[in-house]
């Protein structure tokens, strides 16, 4: 299922875009769900990083689409963002908020179809990097490439990311099987590190980006250094 959000205060423009998205879904055989917000502020207050693609109108009544996208990027740096505008030159502002593309009103199906093909191809490539776990707060979906290290304690697994931690019930062995072996290494009984974020190794400790110190088993020291060397040269 591909989740799409349309943020546009003009009902006719929004309805046209939504109808074309549904037409694309039918012709491509893809499952696509679309939600519509007329207000950028309401969208920002309700958004839970649960969209794959966002179509953002630039001219909005409360705050414009550029400002809304700046706020969006503080909580979701990965969602594909497409500006919808009457004036193509306005879309150049999208570079500041890492917009994927722009589309000019009135939206035409050929242009939308080509854009959707491109965005979905990116999503499929990026999807291989995502993992979903069930926590006490619901389903959490995040990118493995953003995980610094993983910690196990009393049947609780915690993924440590740069800005937050995600904890759920499970075992480190099961977790390890789902990880790419070329970039993650189990350095201790209760720790797995992402080699991408290793700063240095003192022999008995691994220093991670951010300063956290992870214990390194003496028995695994040689394997770890070999894995780190392969990763750095890979």
**Mean pLDDT lowest for which of 21-25, 93-97, 123-127, 182-186?**
93-97
Read off the pLDDT band of 234 (50, 70, 90).
low
Q: Are residues 47 and 114 in the same domain?
A: yes
Q: Are residues 208 and 143 in the same domain?
A: yes
Spatial contact of 102 and 91, defined as CB atoms under 8 Å apart: yes
Q: Determine the 3-state secondary structure of 132 from DSSP.
A: strand
Tell me: the pLDDT tens digits for 8-57? 999 999 999 999 999 999 999 999 999 999 999 999 999 988 889 999 99
Spatial contact of 38 and 21, defined as CB atoms under 8 Å apart: no
- The confidence score (pLDDT) of residue 108 equals 94
**Residue 162 in tokens:** 């740069």
pTM above 0.75, yes or no: no
Q: Residue 9's domain is classified under what CATH number?
A: 3.40.50.2300
Alpha carbon distance 128, 211 (integer Å):
28
Q: Are residues 29 and 89 in the same domain?
A: yes
pLDDT at 97 over 60: no
pLDDT at 91 over 60: no
Distances (CA, A) of 230 to 63, 197, 206, 233: 48, 14, 17, 5
Q: Are residues 120 and 172 in the same domain?
A: no
pLDDT at 92 over 60: no
Q: Are residues 119 and 9 in the same domain?
A: yes
Tell me: the pLDDT tens digits for 151-171? 999 989 999 998 899 999 999
Q: Hey, CA dihedral for 100, 101, 107, 112, is it positive or negative?
A: negative
- The confidence score (pLDDT) of residue 145 equals 82
Q: How confident is the prediction for the chain on average, in pLDDT?
A: 88
**Mean pLDDT lowest for which of 91-95, 135-139, 225-229?**
91-95
Structural domain range at position 101: 2-127
Q: Residue 229's domain is classified under what CATH number?
A: 2.40.50.1020
Q: Which of 231, 211, 214 is nearest to 223 (CA)?
A: 231
pLDDT at 98 over 70: no
- The H-assigned helical ranges of the chain are 11-28, 40-46, 65-73, 109-127, 172-177, 221-233
Spatial contact of 126 and 78, defined as CB atoms under 8 Å apart: yes
- The confidence score (pLDDT) of residue 224 equals 95
pLDDT at 95 over 60: no
pLDDT at 114 over 70: yes
pLDDT at 93 over 60: no
**Residue 201 in tokens:** 């190794």
Number of domain units in the chain? 2
Q: Are residues 75 and 117 in the same domain?
A: yes
The neighbour count for residue 190, using CB atoms within 10 Å, is 15
Distances (CA, A) of 214 to 159, 160, 170, 194: 14, 12, 20, 11
What does the pLDDT average to over 119-128?
77
């Amino acid at each position: 299922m591909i989740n799409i959000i349309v943020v546009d205060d003009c009902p006719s423009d929004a309805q046209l875009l939504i109808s074309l998205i549904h037409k694309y879904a039918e012709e491509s055989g893809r499952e696509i769900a679309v939600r519509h917000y007329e207000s950028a502020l309401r969208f920002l207050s309700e958004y839970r990083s649960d969209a794959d693609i966002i179509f953002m109108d630039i001219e909005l009544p409360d705050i414009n689409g550029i400002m809304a996208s700046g706020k969006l990027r503080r909580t979701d740096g990965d969602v594909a963002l497409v500006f919808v505008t009457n004036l193509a030159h306005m879309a150049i502002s999208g570079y500041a908020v890492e917009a994927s593309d722009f589309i000019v009103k009135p939206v035409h199906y050929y242009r939308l179809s080509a854009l959707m093909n491109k965005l979905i191809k990116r999503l499929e490539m990026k999807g291989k990097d995502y993992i979903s776990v069930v926590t006490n707060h619901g389903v959490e979906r995040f990118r493995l490439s953003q995980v610094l290290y993983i910690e196990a304690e009393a049947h609780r697994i915690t993924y440590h990311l740069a800005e937050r931690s995600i904890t759920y019930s499970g075992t480190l062995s099961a977790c390890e099987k789902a990880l790419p072996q070329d970039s993650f290494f189990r350095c201790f009984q209760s720790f797995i590190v992402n080699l991408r974020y290793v700063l240095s190794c003192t022999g008995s400790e691994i220093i991670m980006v951010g300063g956290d110190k992870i214990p390194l088993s003496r028995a695994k020291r040689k394997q770890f250094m070999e894995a780190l060397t392969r990763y750095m040269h890979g």
